Structure 1
Amino acid sequence: MSPDPLRFLRCPVCGEPLSGVETEGARALRCPRGHSFDLARQGYVNLLAGRAPHTGDSPGMVTAREEFLGAGHYDLVSAALAAAATGSSATETSAAESDSADATYPRLVVDAGAGTGWHLAAVLDAIPDAVGLALDVSKPALRRAARAHPRAAAALCDTWQTLPLADASTTLLLNVFAPRNGPEFRRVLRPDGLLLVVTPAADHLTELVEQLDLLRVDPTKSDRVAGSLGDGFDLVGRSRHIRRMRLRRAEVATLVGMGPSAWHIAPARLAARIEALPEPVDVTAAVELGVYRPR
């Protein structure tokens, strides 16, 4: 695990700082009170305090997702995040900041619900002096996220619970098609930090909704997202991003599996409907990016 993100981590049991230890060849993170958390040989650290209510994406889902992202279908999301990140004052160091004690620490970019770390890596490429941390509950996803970027680390945690991060430690927090924990997001963000939330727009995957009987995006979703963050944030910007994707049936199956509809349709019925689609099929990707600042 990269030593730079390590300094921002906190013990999920007591909240004390964590440091790396090595005993008889085994590596772990340990706090002053003796709570210890193993570093997996794939590079991520397990910071779950107890059992998670779910295990996240399976190995097969993670492989398919990485292939889909690698084909560039969701590059519009990465590009939108990178543009918003580099256009924010949170990613700029003022003269006053450079003289402060905090200037000795790199800026931290956290992706809550990071999956394989694909979007986090794109943002880190755009901010050369930042370090990143991928948080997810899926071990197969974190095995890839730990290798997604040389300046990124990865930690297993349930983002619905207390995040294993110090107060006001995070400069930029990403949340892409993932659950939102408003109080914790507010706690870990610096006062000058930024929260970037990506959600599907009303016409996202519109060509597939009727043919595959997918869940429809609530037209009031943007307002619900803002409400889910509580009273700790102000919406300071919102943008819409759209592109046309030309997908094979296997890619359609992966795309549907990446969203909530996968849990609401019987697999056999979904497979039959996908098989009846033309190949390739043109599909609209439409997302909204909300930019929030802590109050």
Structure 2
Amino acid sequence: MDPRILARLRCPVCGEPLAETTAGTARALRCPRRHSFDIARQGYVNLLAGRAPHTGDSAEMVAARTDFLDAGHYDTVATALAAAATKIVSGTARTGDTGPADGDGSAYPLVVDAGAGTGWYLAAVLAALPDAVGLALDVAKPAVRRAARAHPRAAAALADTWQRLPLADRSAAVLLNVFAPRNGAEFHRVLDSAGALLVVTPTADHLAELVDALDLLRVDPAKADRVAGSLGAHFTEESATVHRARLRLSRTEVTTLVGMGPSAWHADPARLAERIAALPEPVPVTLAVRLAVHRPR
């Protein structure tokens, strides 16, 4: 594992620093109290403290997300995140507060994606920040297997966002939270005081055409207020922007899009397939998300 990332990790059991060990072909991270966490052959490390209460997205949902994102349909979101993260890191560099330093004394920013999925958004941000390293955290094994290969300067760990994050205090320059759960207290603990949390949530009209035609789950109109409420004790919303794009999708791509989202857990597959088959092709779909920049209090 990249030593610049490893230096920021902490044992999820006792909070002590971690070091990489090797025994034959087996690799693991181990703390001074001898808590040990295996590094899988796919490259990710399991930093769950006990069994997670849920397993996250299925392999089918992760595969659907990979296909859809790789096709560029959500490039609008990735571009907005990269621009926001670049502004944050550039501003931090100007103040001289760039976070902890690595072994040779040079400072470097760590970008953490909490609920990273396949690491696609993290990779886009790292591509815009050549001096940064990244860590993808997700509770789903199929997701972190892919996230471990998302970018040469990224690592991936199996971790539950609702538990204590396996990171040192104030270790992250930027936190990404894209369509994922939010743990305000932990986000505040691991984020540097000069850093920022970037939260992407759907607006009320996101995928509106599919919601109506396919009877999918609807976005709560009070979503932004609920997000602000969940973070308000620890963060102040500095700014928010809405980003839109008009997509033209094939029926196959619509099936993939539905399969990568929360409606995949609730829709009847046969009924859904029937409704998608009835859609005119190409299918016009509205992408509409809100990107909020939150600063720690």
**Aligned residue among 213, 216, 241 for 1:214:** 216
Listed as ranges, the gaps of 5+ residues in structure 1 are: none
| Superimposed CA distance per residue, residues 23-53 of structure 1 (whole angstroms, 9 cap, x where no aligned partner) | 1221000000000000001100000111112
Letter in 2 for 1:9: L
- The CA distance in 2 between the partners of 1:77 and 1:170, in whole Å, is 21
Q: Percent identity?
A: 70
CA contact (8 A) 1:245 1:282 kept: yes
Q: Which has the higher mean CA deviation after the structures are superposed, 24-33 or 53-62?
A: 53-62
TM-score (norm: length of structure 2)? 0.95
Q: How does 1:39-78 map to 2 (within 5 A)?
A: 39-78=39-78
Contact kept in structure 1, 2:254 and 2:276, CA below 8 Å: yes
Partners of 1:91 and 1:20 in 2: how far apart?
33
Match of 2:253 in 1: 251
Contact 1:21 1:28 (C-alpha < 8 Å) held by counterparts: yes
> 2:16 matched to 1:16?
yes
Count of equivalent residues: 295
Matches within 5 A, 1:75-94: 75-88=75-88, 92-94=92-94
CA gap of 1:214–1:196, structure 2 versus 1, over 3 A, is: same
Structure 1 pair 152/171, CA: closer, same or farther in 2 (3 Å)?
Answer: same
Aligned twin of 2:7 = 7
Change (3 A) 1:17 1:246: same
Match of 1:276 in 2: 278
**What's the offset of the Cα at 1:89?**
5.2
Check conservation: 1:90, 1:194, Cα contact below 8 A.
Answer: no
Taking the aligned partners of 1:14 and 1:37, their CA distance within structure 2 comes to 13
User: How many Å apart are 1:74 and its aligned residue?
Assistant: 0.4
1-structure distance, mates of 2:100, 2:210: 52
TM-score computed with the length of structure 1 as normaliser? 0.95
Q: 1:91 to 1:271 in 2, by over 3 A?
A: farther
Cα RMSD for the two superposed structures: 1.7
> Are residues 171 and 31 of structure 1, via their aligned partners in 2, closer, same or farther at CA, if it must alter by over 3 Å?
same
Q: Which deviations, in whole Å up to 9, do the C-alpha atoms of 1:223-266 show, x marking residues without a partner?
A: 11011114110000000000011111121112112222222222
Match of 1:267 in 2: 269
Structure 1 residues 205, 50: CA separation in 2 closer, same or farther (over 3 Å shift)?
same
Aligned partner of 1:142: which letter?
V
- Which AA in structure 1 matches 2:14? C
Secondary structure at 2:287 match in 1: strand
SS at match of 1:80: helix
Deviations 1:138-160 (A, max 9, x none): 11111111111110000001111
User: Would you say the 8 A contact 2:161–2:181 is kept in 1?
Assistant: yes
- Tell me, yes or no, if the aligned pair for 1:90 and 1:192 is still in contact at 8 Å: no
Aligned counterparts, 1:18-167, within 5 A = 18-88=18-88, 92-94=92-94, 96-97=96-97, 104-167=106-169
The 8 Å contact of residues 91 and 127 in structure 1, kept in 2 or not, is answered as no
- CA separation of 1:97 and 1:272: change in aligned 2, threshold 3 A: same
Q: Corresponding residue for 1:241? A: 243
Distance in 1 of aligned mates of 2:85 and 2:166:
23
| Shift, 1:60, TM fit | 2.4
Deviations 1:88-111 (A, max 9, x none): 256541374479868634210000
